[in-house]
Amino acid sequence: MKFLISILLVFAATTGFAQNDITGEVAGALKRGDAAAIAAQMMPQVELTLNGQDNNFTKADAQKALAAFFKDHPVTGFSIKHQGTSKLDDQYRIGDMTTQKGSFRVTFFMKKTGTTMQIRQLKIEVAE
């Protein structure tokens, strides 16, 4: 009986963690150039950096800006290179995105809202 309870607790803990971690969903969406899937993981207001321009957007406007970027820069690949968590439990991921027009460094910051993580900031900058 103790063994069964232990297994259930481990399963519940890992399932809860998997629901909170949106990294795989965001990384997959970046790899596909899927602006709608990325926007689905955003907070209602998000800071977005594209083409050297840094602005605050609503989720809908951020999706439009990303869709335009992906239309002009068809994505050929994306991979996470680094990740971390701040003392306030905010998380960040840094990755490399390749497109038909060049390479970009992508950084996204996530904040816990309720029981889920959401993107609060997304930066797509020319890789140096």
Domain range list for the chain: 2-126
Report the Cα 16 to chain-centroid distance in Å.
18
What are the tens digits of pLDDT across the range 93-122? 999 999 999 999 999 999 998 888 999 999
Residue 1 confidence (pLDDT) = 56
* Kind and range of the H or E run holding 60: helix 59-72
Q: Cα–Cα distances in Å, from 9 out to 14, 15, 17, 20, 79? A: 9, 10, 12, 17, 32
What are the tens digits of pLDDT across the range 16-55? 444 468 999 999 999 999 999 999 999 999 999 998 899 9
Q: What is the DSSP string of 12-25?
A: HHHHHHHHH--HHH
Q: What would be the CATH architecture of the domain defined by 2-126? A: Roll (3.10)
Confidence of residue 14 (pLDDT cuts 50, 70, 90): very low
Which long-range contacts (C-beta less than 8 Å, at least 24 apart) are formed by 82-88? 83/23
- Residue 88, both tokens: 């306030």
Average pLDDT over residues 56-70: 98
**Is the pLDDT score of 82 beyond 90?**
yes
Cα–Cα distance, 28 to 37 (Å, whole number): 9
- Residue 118, both tokens: 């959401």
pTM for this model (two decimals) = 0.82
